[in-house]
Amino acid sequence: MHPSAELPAALAIGLAALATYGLRAGGLLLAERLPKTGRLRRGMDALPGALLLSLVVPSIANAGPWGVLAAGITALVAWRSRNMLVAMLLGMAVVLVQRQLGL
């Protein structure tokens, strides 16, 4: 790295580390103040699933009918077998077949 670029890079890394630590520490401190029951607690419990869906659903919709089929097979196999690895592999197999056949 060029000597004149070392200070800005080190500063950026240090600030990113401070921001990451601050977010983690803030989350831990805030967690004690959140309610243990009620609507807000149920909403917080549902948040990871909602975030995952907000990331996955646009990709499924963008893939069209084959994406919907792959997602459906993945969900069905995961629900029936409780084996996430097999479910994901079957969903990926549907996408692979679709891409190999050029459909």
Instruction: Say if residue 27 is exposed, middle or buried (CB neighbours under 10 Å; 0-12, 13-18, 19+).
Output: exposed
Domain borders along the chain are 1-33, 47-103
Assign 97 a pLDDT band (cuts: 50, 70, 90): very high
Model confidence over 58-96: pLDDT tens digits? 989 988 899 999 999 999 999 999 999 999 999 999 999
pTM of this structure: 0.54
Instruction: Please name the residues in contact with 59: beta carbons below 8 A apart, sequence gap of 6 or more.
Output: 67
